[in-house]
Amino acid sequence: MATSDRPGNAVLRYAESRKNLIGSVCGLAGVGVTLTGAAGALWPLVVGGLYAAGALIAPPDRPATPEFAEEGDRLDGLRADFARLRAYLTEAELPPAARERLTALDTLVEALLAPGWVTDPEHLHVIARTVRQDIPEAVDTFVRTRWWARFAAGAEQPEHHLERQLAALHEEAKRIASDLHEAEEIRQRIHTEYVEGRGE
């Protein structure tokens, strides 16, 4: 899953972010304190410190979870929704371990959604649920929880839950891949027996 983040885009996105806006308001309060003469010669530290404090306490901007047009388990619609999911995931800020697990899951789901592989309705339903519900919910819940977790000392880190969820979803997708592999092996053996049997 590639990210196409140019430095200019990242700067523009930060300039429009909630962190920058709240930090700027706090920085302006620091300018106000400076104008009263209370900050003295330390006014740059006061303004900078208030900006940093505002940026730190601001809740992070969350990318909007994708809206999926399809609800059924048709492969074409599912592939289109998977593309929407990928665009959403490139915007989400995730820790490296979770991003690594997500990349592995993304690669496997992409392979399963290649035309001509998954035809079983139950398998398609599981993949559809993974793409449209499980992954977006796991990532969005992590982003929401991560900000509040810093106010709850001793609480379990939200990235641990995200990693566990992604690991479970990866195992579920691997079971589908294993079923496909087994079906292809059976098909290959049957064809071998058929071809060899023709010469008898």
- Position 4 scores a pLDDT of 45
Grouping H, G, I as helix, E, B as strand and the rest as coil, residue 150 is: coil
- Position 103 scores a pLDDT of 94
Q: What is the pTM of this model?
A: 0.68
Would you state the torsion angle of the CA atoms of residues 144, 12, 101, 179, taken in this order, to the nearest 10 degrees? 100
Q: pLDDT (tens digit, 9 = 90+) per residue, 115-143?
A: 888 888 899 999 999 999 999 999 999 98
Q: Rounded to an integer, what distance in angstroms lies between the CA atom of residue 37 and that of residue 41?
A: 9
Q: pLDDT (tens digit, 9 = 90+) per residue, 169-186?
A: 999 999 999 998 888 888
Segment 87-116 mean pLDDT: 92
